[in-house]
Amino acid sequence: ETGVTQTPRHLVMGMTNKKSLKCEQHLGHNAMYWYKQSAKKPLELMFVYNFKEQTENNSVPSRFSPECPNSSHLFLHLHTLQPEDSALYLCASSQDPIGRTAAYGYTFGSGTRLTVV
């Protein structure tokens, strides 16, 4: 285990469903991230939270809604998704969002495999 826990590991949902992905870290990190991983494509950064505040939204459709209640928890709320949203969703955290983060890199969770039917 890396210290970043994602649940559920697998999720199948219909296009009209509402579901949430959860990410939890107890590493003392102050920044958390959502990434989308699709086959043969670079990881796509979706959202960045620094000290619970959203600092980046990479033009993500509104059917994805993030929530960060505290520095240890991050959610991704899903509604009315499309089949092309099927992917592995990875959560990551880093120690310091400013300056020193570059040298430390990220700690990733194992991901949630999402299938939209």
Partner 1 sequence: AQSVAQPEDQVNVAEGNPLTVKCTYSVSGNPYLFWYVQYPNRGLQFLLKYITGDNLVKGSYGFEAEFNKSQTSFHLKKPSALVSDSALYFCAVNNFNKFYFGSGTKLNVKP
Positions in the binding site for partner 1 (CB under 8 A):
2, 4, 6, 9, 40-43, 45, 90, 92, 97-99, 101-103, 105-111, 113
Shorter beta-carbon distance to partner 1: residue 16 or 40? 40
Element of type H or E holding 7? strand 4-7
* Rounded CA Rg of the chain: 14
Buried/exposed code over 27-46 (b: 16+ C-beta within 10 A; e: otherwise): eebbbbbbbbeeeeeeeeeb
**Shortest spacing between CB 100 and partner 1, in angstroms:** 9
Burial of 78 (0-12, 13-18, 19+ CB in 10 A): buried
Shorter beta-carbon distance to partner 1: residue 20 or 107? 107
Shorter beta-carbon distance to partner 1: residue 37 or 80? 37
β pairing state of 87-94 and 73-79: unpaired
**Shortest spacing between CB 80 and partner 1, in angstroms:** 27
Shorter beta-carbon distance to partner 1: residue 63 or 88? 88
**Shortest spacing between CB 63 and partner 1, in angstroms:** 23
